[in-house]
Amino acid sequence: YHPSCCQNHVSPGMIVQIYKFYAHHDKLQNKIMPEYLHLNGLRYKIMKKPLKVGILRESKNPPDRRVPLTPPQIIWLQKKYHDVSFCLQPSNDRCYSNSEYEQFNIPLKEDLQDCDILIGIKEVDKLKLIPGKTYLFFAHVAKRQPHNRTLLREILRKKIKLIDFFEPLLWSGWG
């Protein structure tokens, strides 16, 4: 049992929707680039890149103890989608310990540069944003808060795809 602070805001259903988006995008790409490439009379199979998801360490002060995905949710997603893998930055502030993730063979690593999608809870420090990545977190940029404008500018400058958790809450009437 974990305290209510552990209630995560990224449901496995949301991850499934993100995965479906990427799979749909991949299908569109395959219309342009077929699954097999014919070159000089030879047929080459084009290997699809597996999706790698990284869970960010919360860097906002005071630190947030919530987690975007629990270890059992990650295992469920990996069983359902074999070509999706997860890793996370170590943190002593999460309501789930690093060892709880390691017990499920979910790797801990500092550098998440090789991840396709990066997930967190609170706003990410603009100095730690990795250019060209897809991020999911509560960015609160839809509220047009003055203190988040520099974060939005940095996201745009670094050509980052942002999925703001707050947006679906606004659409559902919770925001």
Span 48-72, pLDDT tens digits: 678 899 999 988 888 788 899 999 9
Q: Which residue carries 């999460």 as its tokens? A: 94
The whole-number pLDDT of residue 100 equals: 95
* Ranges under pLDDT 70 in the chain: 1-48, 141-143, 166-175
Report residue 96 CA to chain centroid gap.
18
Half-sphere exposure of 152 (CA within 13 A, CB side): 13
pLDDT digits (tens, 9 = 90+) for 108-118: 999 999 999 99
| pLDDT attached to residue 167 | 57
Q: Tokens at residue 149, please?
A: 């404008």
Q: Using an 8 Å Cβ cutoff, are 67 and 129 in contact?
A: no
Closest CA to 70 of 97, 93, 44: 97
Token pair belonging to 96? 């789930």
Judging by DSSP bridges, how do beta strands 134-137 and 117-119 pair with one another? parallel
pLDDT number for residue 33: 43
CA 46 to each of CA 6, 22, 52, 85, 124: distance values in angstroms, whole numbers, following the listed order? 41, 17, 19, 20, 35
Predicted pLDDT of residue 166: 61
Q: Would you tell me how many other CB atoms lie within 10 Å of the CB of residue 6?
A: 14
